[in-house]
Amino acid sequence: MSNIYGDWLKQQREAADLTQQQLADMAIMTRSHIAHIEAGRRVPSKEDARRLDRALNTGNVLSSFLPEEDAAVADYFEAARQLESQAVAIGSSSIRRPGLLQYSHPCLAVLGTTYPPLSAEECDRRLVTRLERARLLDDPVTPVFWALLDEALLHRVVGDRRVMAGQLRHIAHLVEAGRVRVHVMPRDRGAYPVMQSMLSLMWFEDQPPVAYSEGIHVAKIHDSPAVVDRLQGAYYHALSDALSLRETVALLKSTAKDYEDDA
């Protein structure tokens, strides 16, 4: 996203001879939150912007000229990816496989369905980005990660049946290794909260939690406490109806075996 807003905030802060920490104290925010806004990785909430205006004596400039919320997916995804790399805990719900649980073959199959088609170079670039995201799980502890998967994901063949078997066994392995927690929402549960789009909830050591939602050609980072709290509630409500960890692993393995037997 454009960083005109963040650059202007930094200029006003420096003109007032304030450090990021001093401005954070005056605006009742964290220093890292200020740093993310100045770097263009975060868009402040309206209340954050009002507090910054008061602290910097800038009238209502920061409140009035907040960046447009209808930004492109690519712009918001880059900001979300930066936040994801700093999170200490991530909760995901998706109508497709979360990027952190994918490996190369399914990634290539998904990228091959993009319209208009991608060039080989662009496909390779996006594949590298997705695989780099998945390397977050190379750390044995942080971030804590759990995912809610719709059972329909297990039965939609992406790539071929061998690729599907490999993907499901990969997820089962991560769960059994204790690195992630995954819960499948059975098809017979019907409709449930958060099924309409991809949702990612992120928690941090030194700043408030945020949420990231994504649909077709639209995406948004949510940092309003009220909105994040509502999305967290919907996520936990849905998790309560999902299969247990043990049931999920059993289903992943049995479905993978079915794919292998029919391959």
Give the mean pLDDT of the chain.
84
pLDDT above 60: residue 254? yes
Regarding pTM above 0.75, the answer is: no
pLDDT: which is higher, 109 or 193: 193
Show the 3-state SS of the chain: CCCHHHHHHHHHHHHCCCCHHHHHHHHCCCHHHHHHHHCCCCCCCHHHHHHHHHHHCCCCHHHHCCCCCCCCHHHHHHHHHHHHHHCCEEEEEECCCCHHHCCHHHHHHHHCCCCCCCCHHHHHHHHHHHHHHHHHHHCCCCCEEEEEEECHHHHCCCCCHHHHHHHHHHHHHHHHCCCEEEEEECHHHCCCCCCCCEEEEEECCCCCCEEEEECCCCEEEECCHHHHHHHHHHHHHHHCCCCCHHHHHHHHHHHHHHHHHHC
pLDDT digits 0-9 by tens, 163-208: 889 889 999 999 999 999 999 999 999 889 898 888 999 999 888 8
pLDDT: which is higher, 120 or 223: 223
- How sure is the predictor about 14, in pLDDT bands with cuts at 50, 70 and 90? very high
pLDDT digits 0-9 by tens, 196-250: 888 999 999 888 899 999 877 677 888 888 999 999 999 999 999 999 999 999 9
